[in-house]
Amino acid sequence: MPLGDAIHSARSALDYLAWQLVIAGGGTPDKTTAFPISANETQFNKNFRNYLRGASTLSMTAVKALRPFQGGDDRFWRLHKLDIEDKHHLLIPVGAAHRSVNVSFGFPGANPIVVGLKPMVREYPLNNGAEVYRVMHAARESAEQGIGGTHSFGFDVAFGEVVIVSGEPIIPTLAELIGGIENTVVPLFRFLN
């Protein structure tokens, strides 16, 4: 499944939930029925009732409590923006970012110790020739004498130039957005018939 399809399916599921909340509240969904997600709290408070027209007051209050706007629960806003971005541009995961440097060291005859180092600043996009780790001369000499160890690197495939998630690793970011939102909206199910 392409990346954009996963994002759009997750965003659409929220709209299906809004549709069902309106039906359960005795209303009739129409072309304006949608799960309200806004750029800020003021815009959300101004418009959310229009998107949920016909839903019960209790379900609208519960949706409002989720704070699905930028500056509230940002996961909703990020998912919404990614869906809009995919509608207008293809989301292409072209960037790479270094995740970790794993250093193994030890002494002859002993089990090596492996230390995973997470960079303070992840370089993104990772370009050809970028320095992600430097081994000093003394460490190289120790390795040649059998005292040092090996080095390995971990990299993430990251979102390309989409401002809202630029450089973030694809799988963990989508899992956090989609899984987190799914868990957050579960309390709304009690309003469905």
pLDDT digits (tens, 9 = 90+) for 134-159: 655 555 555 555 555 666 666 666 66
CA distances from 45 to 51, 66, 108, 133 (A): 11, 12, 67, 48
Question: Which of the four pLDDT bands, split at 50, 70 and 90, describes residue 1?
Answer: very low
Residues 75 and 107 in one domain: no
Residues 56 and 79 in one domain: yes
Mean pLDDT of the chain: 80
Better-scored residue on pLDDT, 117 or 7: 7
Residues 65 and 112 in one domain: no
What range does the domain containing 124 cover? 95-158
Residues 84 and 28 in one domain: yes
Better-scored residue on pLDDT, 140 or 13: 13
Verdict on whether the full-model pTM lies above 0.85: no
Q: What is the pLDDT of residue 87?
A: 75
pLDDT, tens only, 59-95: 999 999 999 999 999 999 999 988 888 777 665 555 5
Residues 13 and 75 in one domain: yes
Residues 104 and 65 in one domain: no
Residues 9 and 78 in one domain: yes
Residues 184 and 136 in one domain: no
Percent of the chain scoring above 90 in pLDDT = 45
CA 25-28-30 angle, 5° bins? 130
Residues 29 and 84 in one domain: yes
Residues 55 and 144 in one domain: no
Number of domains in the chain: 2
Give per-residue burial for 165-177: e unless 16+ CB within 10 Å, then b.
bebbbbeebbeeb
